[in-house]
Chains A and B, each alone.
Chain A
Amino acid sequence: MNKVSKEPLNTSKKYLDPEVLARLSRLDIKARLVVEGFMSGLHSSPYKGFSQEFADYRQYMPGDEPKRIDWKVYGRNDRFYIKEYQEETNLRTYIMLDKSGSMGFGEKISKLEYAKYLSASLAYMLLKQKDSVGLATFDEKIDQIIPPSVKRSNLIEILKLIDKAEPSNETSLSNVLYQLAQKTKKRGLIIIISDLLDDPTSVVKALRSFRYRKHEILVFHILDLKEYEFSFAKAALFHDLEDGSEMVIEPSMIRTSYQRKFKDLLQFYRHQLLESHIDYETIFTTTRYDRALFSYLQKRGRLK
């Protein structure tokens, strides 16, 4: 019995694994599977009732759905009371999906693929909890943008846009953020999914300017393990996915130095962004999606 009951749970959870998910074709299904897999794991988690918040009790009125009667209160005082839930304030969320050339890099799945599933999953989850969600794809500049909306139909548009995102051009995150700042007057949550391969100082500066406008920011720094470890075995001709330049590199010669510099970069982002109260998560393309979704929920929780 247990085995039977656990089966759907395991099945849904397995889609939190990026590699498994990558085998599926339809993005909407991927998003749903990820979120469902994630949600099923939340039953024992402290994050209950994330979509609605208890507000007050009121007396049962004819016409109310009987299922909304709080039977525990009836048991205590023999009166019918209905539990009133306060609808959450509509959170305007922008998912910023980096589709620059560098995002095309990845050993098993590319950073962009990972980012796309993550974006889709987040969008699905956000809409599911009635938050308005929009999406912008960008490289050097904002490529396309879908304004935030709580409509179900918006998800379809978002998924379409995510689906057609292909890696191209260079990253200019700072420029993109300045552009977005022009378009978003209302406060909201900005989720940036990017490899942040831009000038770190200007990226941090641009993000801080968002914070200054009272926006909440969550940065998912998407990385590939190879990119982090530079664990290439032999000399090769490295091709820059952004500017197309090429260089013959003997990895063993520069690995140590590279790793040190890369760690320094991550440290810089972590330190600078946390200092600015910007949530920052380094996500490897091998990381399960629930971690990213948890990060979101933590953030969401703080925003209540």
Chain B
Amino acid sequence: MSFLHPLYLIGLAFTAAPIIIHLWFRKKLDKIPFSTLKFLKKSEARRFGWLKIREIVILALRCMLIAFIFLSLARPQIKAGFLKPGHLASVILIVDNSYSMAYADNFRLAQESIETLLTRYSSKSEFAVFALCRNDTSSYPDRDLWIQKGKVIDRIRQITITNMTGTIKALSRNFIIDQARYSVEFIYIGDGQEIVFADFPRELFIDRIFQWVKIRSGNNVGIKKVSLKDPVALVSDTYVLDIYIENYGSKIWQGKISLQAEDYVREQDCEIQAAHEKKISLTLPVNINKGTVEIYDDSLSVDNIYYFSKSLPKRMKILAVGTIRYLESGLNPTDPINGPFLLTAAETISGRNLQDFDLVILNGLQEISNSDKIKLETFLMKPDKGIVCFLGKSVGDNLSNFIAHCCRAEEYIATKGYVTLDWVDYEHSIFQVFQHTNVLKNIKIHNYYRLNTDKNTIAMLTGNNPFIVIDKNLAVIATQFLPQNTDIVYKSVFVPLLHRLILGTAHQSRDYELYVGDQHHQYGELKTPTGEYIMDGQELLAPGFYTTAKDTIGVNVAASEGNLKIIGNEAAKALHVNIVDAVKDFELGDMSTTFLLLALFALLLELLMLVIH
């Protein structure tokens, strides 16, 4: 215990005052020699016993009253500790520098805790300091692993907060325990997110002390994701964003959610029960495709900004090769100028510049030329382009080879009756809207190709035959949408299904976000929010909007980092991690109020004793 105003401790000498006064008054009392008190004591034993106790108690209360008042004035500061001073060990110190530690003064508290912690260790102890998350400035101690106590603070000060995540498991590769001179102990200082303890290498810590100096985290409310409600919906004037917010905490959270996109601002009150997720849907105009969603009144606000950037389909140019009679009816724009599709029909691919189109439909083509095959393959390399291939009565070698990475067309089946869709992956974005209907179940298929694939089959016919297979941006449908093959062309589901199939293949409408720590590959040179450039393959280091020549990409702190989920005490104990509270065990607590209350209590007790008299 230390004192802010230790001079007041001199006043503790006054504690003796009641005793002196008591003795003085006792001395001042007439002393009467009496024959014997034996008889008195005997006859009044109980009363004298009580009076004596009462006298002692009152005296003690008076002494305590004075002592508590002076102790209160001296502003006592307590700090408990989990180590006895002079502790000798080789200590591996893991400092959590993940993004969540930026909350309030947490990182500073962690550094101060380390300083306090160091006072408990003998000057002979050695330390290896590790930053949990790697960044440029807080490198692993590849040189001078074990340092003396005096150098620890300098090493700690070199560590800065990063936007990355880290695990003890990943870090443990750097622990070189063999060179330790003393018994090895581990101390992790941080807020203890679950991810930190992921795949915790218990075997490393068997028979060794692992202390977690717990830094208290803020409220655990976080935006898990902001995604398009229906990425394969036909976008007209508006679209819907789903904002998923999770309250990881143990209390109900009430706050505001704000969506900002340049001048466009939407705010909404929000209330989330403890340990619950809430989805908030906002309808936005199609011209707002990037912005931020932010949670207010949350303790960890830095983690609650979500940079969203959505890719919304513009008017899609479609090249339909082959028979387009029925497709045309499904894709024909109601508004020829502003309709979602601009359909171009062609007999063959040859002579067409595919770069002018967003999607190519191969409708019942039996074969393609070698050059067409190469053109199509080149076309597919762009993720926002797509090819939908309806298989005809026969599949030529080139066409077969072209779709081979997706599926193999084995045999054309002409059923005597019909088969139906036996199974549909309603979780897939193409079918999500049909989930609670049976419109797909009633479709009859008369003729189809038997496909063999281990890829992503999203619909199957009776007999476990794949009907629709999608691999990235190539969709293969086992039949042509013609009346002799299927009655779908007469059903109301035909048009929406065709639209969703096209939009789901071309991936034009999609969440366009990355996470801190991701390595980007597809954008070439990216301009960071701070105006610097990072090249292909480099890690994204900070949240914000990154830009390319034509795109804007929102980069966010990973949900596992930004949306705190602290490991529970029980879970930590199960890992044999000893928990030490950085506030209780390290932070100085002002005990003056406590002592003042104790003084008041002593006074009340004394009054009570006097009243009893």
Contact = CB atoms under 8 A, between A and B. Distances in A.
Contacts of B32: 232, 236-239
A248 B38 contact: no
Interface residues of B, number: 19
Contact of A247 (B33, B35, B37): B37
B33 A242 contact: no
A111 to B, nearest CB: 7
A132 to B, nearest CB: 32
Most A-side CB within 10 Å, residue of B35, B36, B39, B44: B35
Given A240-B38, A248-B26, A261-B43, A105 B33 contact: yes
A239 B47 contact: no
Contact of B29 (A103, A104, A237, A243): A237
A5 B41 CA distance: 54
A67 B26 CA distance: 73
Nearest to B34: A238
B36 A197 contact: yes
* Range class of the A interface residue count: 20 to 34
Given A237-B26, A247-B40, A254-B47, A224 B35 contact: yes
Contacts, number: 81
B44 A111 contact: no
B44 A257 contact: yes
A111 B39 contact: no
A272 to B, nearest CB: 17
B48 to A, nearest CB: 7
Interface in A148-162: none
B37 A254 contact: no
A299 B44 CA distance: 38
B35 A227 contact: yes
B39 to A, nearest CB: 7
Contacts of B47: 253-254
B36 A242 contact: yes
B31 A237 contact: yes
A258 B44 contact: yes
B30 interface: yes
B40 A238 contact: yes
A102 B34 CA distance: 7
Contacts of A238: 31-34, 37, 40
Given A247-B48, A257-B44, A262 B39 contact: yes
Given A235-B29, A236-B31, A241 B36 contact: yes
Given A237-B29, A248-B26, A258 B35 contact: no
A290 interface: no
A243 B377 CA distance: 118
A157 to B, nearest CB: 29
A250 to B, nearest CB: 9
Contacts of A239: 31-34
Interface in A192-250: 195, 197, 224, 227, 232, 234-243, 245-249
A192 to B, nearest CB: 17
Contact of A197 (B30, B35, B41, B48): B35
Interface string B5-33: 00000000000000000000010011111
Contacts of A261: 39, 43
A29 interface: no
Interface of B: 26, 29-41, 43-44, 47-48, 55
21 contacts: A101-B36, A104-B33, A195-B35, A197-B35, A227-B35, A234-B30, A236-B29, A236-B30, A236-B31, A237-B26, A237-B29, A237-B32, A238-B34, A239-B31, A240-B34, A242-B36, A243-B36, A243-B37, A254-B40, A254-B44, A265-B39
Closest 10 CB pairs of A and B: A102-B35, A105-B35, A261-B43, A240-B37, A236-B30, A237-B29, A238-B34, A236-B32, A237-B31, A102-B36
Interface of A: 101-105, 111, 171, 195, 197, 224, 227, 232, 234-243, 245-249, 253-254, 257-258, 261-262, 265
Given A232-B32, A240-B34, 16 more contacts: A104-B33, A111-B35, A171-B36, A195-B35, A197-B38, A197-B39, A224-B35, A234-B30, A236-B29, A237-B30, A241-B33, A241-B35, A243-B36, A243-B38, A254-B43, A262-B39
